[in-house]
Amino acid sequence: MKDDSDEFNEPYLPARYKEVIRKKKQRRLLNKIGMIALAVVAVVVVYILLSGFFTGSPQQAPSPPLSPTPAVTPLPATVITTTPALTTVKTSIPPTRITAILTEDTSVTTTGTPEPILTARAGTFVTPTGDNSPKITEKQATIIALAAFNDLPAGEMTAELSTSPDFGQVWKYMLRAGTTTEASGLLDADTGTIVTFNRTIYPGGRPQNPVLTSGNARQIADSTISSRNNGILSINMTDSRYVPLVTQSGNVAGSYRFIYSRVVQDYPCDADGFIVSVDAVSGAITEFVQRWQTPDNAFMLAEDLVVPRYDATFTVQYRAKSLYPSSISGLRIISADVRWKDRHDPATIPRPSTIPLAWKIVFDDEIIRAKADPTPAVGWVDAQSGELLEITYQH
């Protein structure tokens, strides 16, 4: 029961009403603050998830600073061993099976007439202007090339400034021991990155069969790419093969060759990626190619494919018939797969969202197959519009 003092201490009705209103306003304000905080957290989470879809360019592993006038001396010989503990290259997407026909020479050459080549669309590329002098000096180039790979034999390393159709301005280096070329390749004249490397394999004393397994060689190839580039690379091995060394007395143990394609939005690039060959006896690197030239923003948004494989191959066959009508009966489709058409002049930079996703149709005919060194023809069809982008078809 309430006494008179309790009733005296109770607030007057209007005061209690104002207090109730104030508490309701406080609750509404707290609810709004909570909803805003949840929205901010959701936006941050979505941004983090979306940012994971984009991959960065490979960064060259740091190397010690070069002295202005160092003496060029050969490195001491080391032995490369293979163990199951070698680190493999990390990929940002799971490997996918890709069917493709890859040849020893990945470039397609064109000569003569008629003109079966369609030119690139205008406004797709930009040519930078400015100082074209190399940032890497000749002496620096020889030092970098000599230290690029282990177990190089003693010899004289030279470098000559040149222009490559695939890599632009480069230093063409060569390691010679007497009259023999032990190693050679190309070095980017602006960044100092080794873009190609080839080492001579001598057949003398080699066994007939490989000493290393394909798995051992794959570990060495993966580790080589990982050690020469910082960060995570989105790549996928799209081809691997064993290449025996051919001699006059028969084949002996050769090398394993692995091709890795750069992957963008779950589709492989046609040009960007790596090639690594491993000696099947010693485990030494006998070939290395690194190409990573297209900016991330140059690729179009990968949408669902509109043009099916059948329509793409028909478009190429129709164009091929107009070039060589008498050869259409012997035309054979070797492969047809979807990839980014990212090969371009290294002196230019693709504009944003200009690299198309396209069907790459590789084919030949009876005349091409009859050649001593047959080079298949290639046609490109836009995967969204069905437009014939380019065809390289020469007899």
Q: What CA–CA distance (Å, rounded) separates 91 from 62? A: 21
pLDDT of amino acid 230? 83
In a domain, 312, yes or no: no
Residue whose C-alpha is closest to residue 229's, from 265, 199, 266, 272: 272
In a domain, 352, yes or no: no
pLDDT of amino acid 70? 41
Say if residue 72 is in the same domain as residue 15: no
In a domain, 171, yes or no: yes
Q: How many domains does the chain have?
A: 2
pLDDT tens for 323-349 read 999 999 999 999 999 999 999 999 899
Say if residue 176 is in the same domain as residue 225: yes
Question: Which amino acid is it at 278?
Answer: V
Cβ neighbours of residue 395 under 8 Å, at least 6 residues apart?
A: 324, 327, 367, 368
Say if residue 95 is in the same domain as residue 174: yes
Q: What CA–CA distance (Å, rounded) separates 198 from 228? A: 16
Range(s) of the domain holding residue 29: 4-51
Decide: 61 and 228 in contact? Cβ < 8 Å. Answer: yes
Last residue of a domain, one of 262, 293, 324: 293
Last residue of a domain, one of 293, 309, 326: 293
Say if residue 232 is in the same domain as residue 161: yes
Q: What CA–CA distance (Å, rounded) separates 260 from 236? A: 5
Residue whose C-alpha is closest to residue 202's, from 155, 153, 160, 135: 153
Say if residue 46 is in the same domain as residue 63: no
pLDDT of amino acid 76? 39
Last residue of a domain, one of 293, 308, 327: 293
Q: Rounding to the nearest 10 degrees, give the CA dihedral for residues 229, 232, 236, 242.
A: 40
pLDDT of amino acid 40? 80
In a domain, 185, yes or no: yes
Q: Judge if pTM exceeds 0.75.
A: no
Decide: 148 and 75 in contact? Cβ < 8 Å. Answer: no
In a domain, 203, yes or no: yes
pLDDT tens for 292-333 read 999 999 999 998 999 999 999 999 999 999 999 999 999 999
Say if residue 19 is in the same domain as residue 146: no
Could you tell me how many helices (H) and strands (E) the chain has, helices first? 6, 16
In a domain, 202, yes or no: yes
| Segments of the chain scoring below 50 in pLDDT | 2, 4-12, 52-55, 64-122
pLDDT of amino acid 343? 95
pLDDT of amino acid 107? 35
pLDDT of amino acid 41? 77
Say if residue 276 is in the same domain as residue 140: yes
Say if residue 8 is in the same domain as residue 147: no
pLDDT of amino acid 60? 59
pLDDT of amino acid 36? 85
- Lookup result for tokens 């397609």: 108
Q: What CA–CA distance (Å, rounded) separates 176 from 392? A: 37
In a domain, 76, yes or no: yes
Say if residue 30 is in the same domain as residue 155: no
Say if residue 155 is in the same domain as residue 78: yes
Say if residue 35 is in the same domain as residue 65: no
Give the number of other Cβ atoms within 10 Å of residue 20's Cβ.
10
Say if residue 22 is in the same domain as residue 65: no
In a domain, 263, yes or no: yes
- Lookup result for tokens 């949840």: 38
Instruction: Check residue 226 and report its DSSP letter.
Output: H
End-to-end CA distance of the chain: 111
pLDDT tens for 223-278 read 999 999 887 899 999 999 999 999 988 999 999 999 999 999 999 999 999 999 99
